[in-house]
Structure 1
Amino acid sequence: MIKRLQSLKRSIRNYRILPRLVCLCCAALVSACATDTAWVDNEEAVIETAGPAKLKQIVAMQDRLDKVGGKLLIDNADLCRKQFRNLLGFSVANKYTYSTDMASLAAQTYGLDDRLQIMNVIPGSGAQRAGLQRGDILLRIENRPVPQGIHAERDTVAMLSPMISKNKSLNLTVLRNNARKNVSVPLTPACGFRIELGQTGNVNTYSDGSRILVTQGMMLFAKSDENLAYVISKEMAHNVLGHAKTLQNTRAATTLIDNLLHTPPRSIAGTTGLKPMPKKFDIDADTLSLAMALRGGYEIDDATRFWKRLAYRFPATNARNYTALHPATSARLEAMPQSITRIKAIDKRRKALAKPK
């Protein structure tokens, strides 16, 4: 573990910015029926419960996860050694992506039916370079028909897995404006983490080594994309450093993430079975996550203030709060400014060396 961390730190010191490529994230845009309320500073940010407002809120949250998470996944590919994958650069949905009471509204608003439709194309990805657009309907991949119906997303991912491992690009046929269009989509080196939207209003994030879940409450609290980048990159760092496995948290975290994907969640009891993050693990993850956020193009000067605000507003006295699972708040906040200064200095030297002579 020590050797691995030292190797990762050397990678941080000598990192280079990678091309902005991104993965296929089958969007789990499930409508929540919860009545949770999340607080942002002194303002009350309501999680919508039904109707068009709920649908728009969910889609907007998923779009932010795709955009911010996509940049972080692709620009940190060389740090995700065991989790490295070649992936595509768009998210998809059909009418079955939503709960029964929202399916007809989703069909009316976005024209969704049994077929998978592209909902979001990540800027800088192979999908964007190939010209894919929001609203394109997937018809064929490598001349194989794309699955349709209730399990279309799951079955499409299963179909893609062997293709992605053997090819550098994939040939897709899409339907756009009632006309078929053939495109070749370059595959993207990226961290192979799935970033999910949790159907609960508590302000927290979870990772199980292969997935990251950001709750709706955290989405509202992380008002800017930079704030959201701090949150996602922190869980990416925990995954890269293998913290869930080391703490024997993997099973509990996986179960919790599975539960929070449902509408309403099957269990929102909080963090049953999860062990709090030790101080050293949290500080190591903070350091790596700050470098990851910067690599993704996000400024990190506000990181200390963001985490301080989160700890103040949502203290560890509530077991469902982020701080309860990351209790070393004082040590983290004390170490963070020095880490920010060091990482920014590394970035400045890298840019100077990259300038043409």
Structure 2
Amino acid sequence: MGFRKALLAGLALAATAAGPAPGDPKYVRDAQQLLKADLTVAKVAYLLQTNALGHCPRRTALPGMLVIDPSQYPGDWRRFVAAQWGADKHPTVEAVIPGGPADEAGVKARDAIVSLDGQDLGAQLPALTDKQDGGTRITMIRDRIDAAFAAGPVTLGLLRDGNPLGITVTGTPACWSFVEIGQGTGHQASAEGTVVTIDQGMLAEIQSEADLAFILGHELSHNFLKTRETLDAQGTSFGLFSVFGENGARLRDSEREADYWGVYMMTWAGYDPHDAAIFWRRHSRMDINGLFAMSHPSNATRVHDLEAVAAEIDAKKAAGKPLDPDYGHFREMVGH
């Protein structure tokens, strides 16, 4: 994606009628923790997307910055948001990925984004009100920034401490997809064709960037492989009884394929492929049951597959072969 939409709206769920004071220690601490999580997700997603270029159907360019907008928060929270991140009237840079294009060009957290290549970013956006707008403004902002960087270098018209300046940023070529943190407390991540969402409950299980790289790599693979489109074309159903018979077999195989590609993606990004199986052994102790679990391979199968993919990658490295995925061949070799 062109940037990471900062989903810190979890703070707003705990808001009182008056909203917190700008320096309220509890909310400041929560905001710092959420920012840390959001920046970690952004960094890992950036590495995955910029290192998988030869294997995705659609490309963009990533500037490596997180953007928030006042419309994501109710009016009585605006003072707190402005104090924490500077987001007052304009879309604002919440953070930059260290070493990314925006960081290297000199963009800083709290910079307000006024224009893109001289075009007013706020033009034709819904007006700010005292209420959250359900994500309409931030989605439009996200799409405009993404489209601008996909077309080439972008001169950002910024306000820093009230002073205007222009900084030109050249995004890093990358696979196209949006990645965000959801508000759910379940142990889940999902892909919806263009968006990958990882719930806060799943984030709580993450012990390393490698763990996160596998989870995001798995979900990004669904988007890059167009899993949902393929399943729809095959007439696959997703209802109550979808986990049975040939229909269920197709669902489980699509998850195995995403696991396979996810290990390759984390490897391309510089992470150890063996960490995927280590993570899944630990995650499997959550003992997720029910129809959701039946739509995925068993935990034993997934651990076996993940170990086999890591061994395949090791063998290719030792033989000096390119790390190109071949799921059809892999499936024949491992069986199930």
TM score, norm. by length of structure 2: 0.76
> Percent of aligned pairs with the same residue?
22
Is 1:104 aligned with 2:79?
A: yes
Q: 1:334 aligns with which of 295, 298, 304?
A: 304
- Indicate conservation of the 8 Å contact 1:316/1:327, yes or no: no
Residue 97 of structure 2 corresponds to residue 130 of structure 1: no
1:23 correspondence with 2:2:
yes
- Report the structure number with the largest CA radius of gyration: 2
Instruction: Tell me which residue corresponds to 1:121.
Output: 96
Q: Mind listing any 5+ residue stretches in structure 1 that lack a counterpart?
A: 1-21, 36-49, 250-270, 353-357
**Cα distance change on mapping 1:284 and 1:25 into 2, 3 Å:** same
Which of 119-128 and 107-116 deviates more?
119-128
Identify if the C-alpha distance between structure 1 residues 100 and 283 changes in structure 2 by more than 3 Å, giving closer, same or farther. Answer: same
1:196 & 1:143 partners in 2: Cα distance?
Answer: 28
1:160 Cα offset (Å): 3.9
When structure 1 is superposed on structure 2, of 339-348 and 65-74 the one drifting more is 339-348
In the alignment, the residues of structure 1 paired with residue 13 and residue 86 of structure 2 have an alpha-carbon distance, to the nearest angstrom, of 26
Can you list the C-alpha shifts for 1:82-125, whole angstroms capped at 9, x where unaligned?
A: x3223432111133223556443222222320211111222343
Q: Secondary structure at the match of 1:72?
A: helix
Which residue in 2 is equivalent to 1:61? Answer: 37
Contact 2:12–2:77 under 8 Å retained in 1: no
**SS of equivalent residue, structure 2 residue 168:** strand
Distance verdict in 2 for CA 1:351–1:123, change over 3 Å: farther
Name the SS for the 2:207 alignment partner: coil
Measure, in 2, the Cα distance between the counterparts of 1:347 and 1:327. 28
Which of 220, 223, 226 is the aligned partner of 1:242?
226
Match of 2:144 in 1: 159
Runs of 5+ unmatched residues, structure 2:
15-25, 234-238, 323-336
Q: Partner residue of 1:315?
A: 288
Alignment of structure 1 residues 202-213 onto 2, 5 Å: 202-213=186-197
Q: Secondary structure at the match of 1:133?
A: coil
Q: How does 1:202-281 map to 2 (within 5 A)?
A: 202-248=186-232, 278-281=251-254
Deviation at 1:325, TM superposition (A): 4.2
After superposition, the Cα gap between the structure-2 partners of 1:51 and 1:209, relative to the gap in structure 1 and judged at 3 Å, is same
Q: Return the alpha-carbon distance in structure 2 between the equivalents of residues 198 and 344 of structure 1.
A: 34
Q: Deviations over 1:112-159 (max 9, x none)?
A: 202111112223432233221222221221111221746543333343
Q: Which has the higher contact order (CA 8 A, sep 6+)?
A: 1
Aligned to 2:155: 171
- For 1:207, give the aligned amino acid: A
RMSD: 3.2
Instruction: Kindly state the Cα deviation for residue 315 of structure 1 after the two structures are TM-superposed.
Output: 2.1
1:32–1:246 distance in 2 versus 1, CA, 3 Å? farther
C-alpha contact 2:217 2:263 (8 A) present in aligned 1: yes
Letter in 1 for 2:138: E
Partner residue, 1:199: 183
TM-score (norm. length: structure 1)? 0.72
| Contact 2:39/2:97 (<8 A) preserved | no
Is the contact between residue 149 and residue 170 of structure 2 (CA under 8 Å) also seen in structure 1? no
Report the counterpart of residue 258 of structure 1 in structure 2. none
Amino acid at match of 1:302: D
Q: 1:74 aligns with which of 47, 50, 54?
A: 50
- The correspondence for 1:289, drawn from 262, 268, 279, is 262
Q: State the shift of 1:73 in Å.
A: 1.2
